[in-house]
Structure 1
Amino acid sequence: MNHLTMTINDEQIQIKEYQGTRVVTLADIDRVHKRPPGTARKRFNFHREHFTEGLDYFVLNTDEARKHFNTMAPNGLILVTEYGYLMLVKSFTDALAWEVQRSLVNHYFRAKEQQQELPTGENLLAMAVLEAQKLLEAKDQTIQHQEAQIKELAPKADYTDTILASKDLVNMTQIAKDYGMGAKTMNLLLKDLGIQTYNGNQWVLTYKYQNKGYAASATASYYHQDGTIGSRMHTKWTQKGRQFLYEVLKQRGILPIIEQEHLYKRAE
């Protein structure tokens, strides 16, 4: 287990390597970039389809995270490589972000290559021991992976335990807020997923998802400029529909804020 640390942007982070590759956690990225906790995870989840596992990031299960990094991560631990890091922080365009990117890439990710030296006798012995340890760890990882496949997933997160317990109809603004988005962004996301479409000034479910009890139409009254009363139809979501959206978005790595915070705290 590696206990060496490095200081980036006045933040001390533990040097981490996995399968011979230097990596960082999403929490590390938030810290060195001085971003609110959960920022990197949110961006990773939103763009996850563009990342390649094994190249841009690794996912460790609970046992692997504890064994390799002594970290409690009930929902798994995401490790980001140099490639994944550069993809993730493309949208960080402030002056500090550019400085941190350069420092993290040159002094953290690539330091291993820059500081290689010819091995001494003691180093050769240490390398042999390390190689044997890696072989044992690889075997253990295979066994743990097989065991993890038959274990039950981590306990259901707070979102379904608390928010979905409500029986009231909710509008898209409230649902989007749960995920840290605006209603417009969430509506367009659901449109891209083929769940709803815009028809007659109202978002409605596509034919595939109609008559499943996911949503209901509600009428809202308003005043015209001439003082007459008009009405407009709005789509509101049932808790069954809200649960449906939760499962669909979760499959795509998009989690509500309350679960993002939950994962972040467990990963620290």
Structure 2
Amino acid sequence: MEDLVIMKNKQAVTSSLQVADTFGKRHDHVADSIDSLKKDVPNFGEMFIETNLPDSYGRNRRGYYMNRDGFTLLAMGFTGSKALQFKLQYIDAFNEMEQQVKFQVPSTLPEALRLAADQAEKISVLQPKADYTDKMLANPGLETTSVIAKNYGYSTREFNKLLHGLGIQYKQGKTWLLYAKYQDQGYTHVEPYGYTNSDGIEMVRNTMKWTQKGQEFLYSFLKSKGILPRIEQTA
């Protein structure tokens, strides 16, 4: 099977042929469903691009490329447990592809030189200590997301959104939890803590903390995306 999501004109997209194949539908029916959206969706052209797509026999068929928003709008009508499984696979595929866009190689020499200069300046100002990573990952205790976020130069909110965008965690109520494929790996520990709200009422809320193994996972995963700790060098 071809990739669910591909890059086209610097945007993550999928095709109506791929959607039809994945969800087990006739392609002409999928194309008709997209056509039916035209009259009710003012920004239809921002989500769908009509084109010719070769079928399995190499014959061109009228079809569409669609971005994440277009796919989401189209897939709303696909129901059933199997359809839900395919939707989740598409979400993961879009997340992965869109993150790759952020770290793609510059397309022009001036852009590459500018990025290299920016990176050199960041390194000279924010060069971490040589042994920082070893010390961070050698901590056997639990660590909060806010502390890890600070090590990377993010606010807690920004870092949580980053991990969500990378498909690592999701929010349930007010608690961040790992997606299923990262659960039961010993990466995190959820524990309750008490606090007093603005009305003076004692409350209990769960919070997720990262184990040493989880911190090592985060470091390796983020490093693979070009994201490294930003700790100023100290004596």
Q: TM-score range by the shorter chain?
A: 0.3 to 0.5
Larger relative contact order (CA 8 Å, sep ≥ 6): 1
TM-score, normalised on structure 2?
0.47
Q: Would you tell me which structure has more helix in proportion to its own residues?
A: 1
Larger radius of gyration: 1
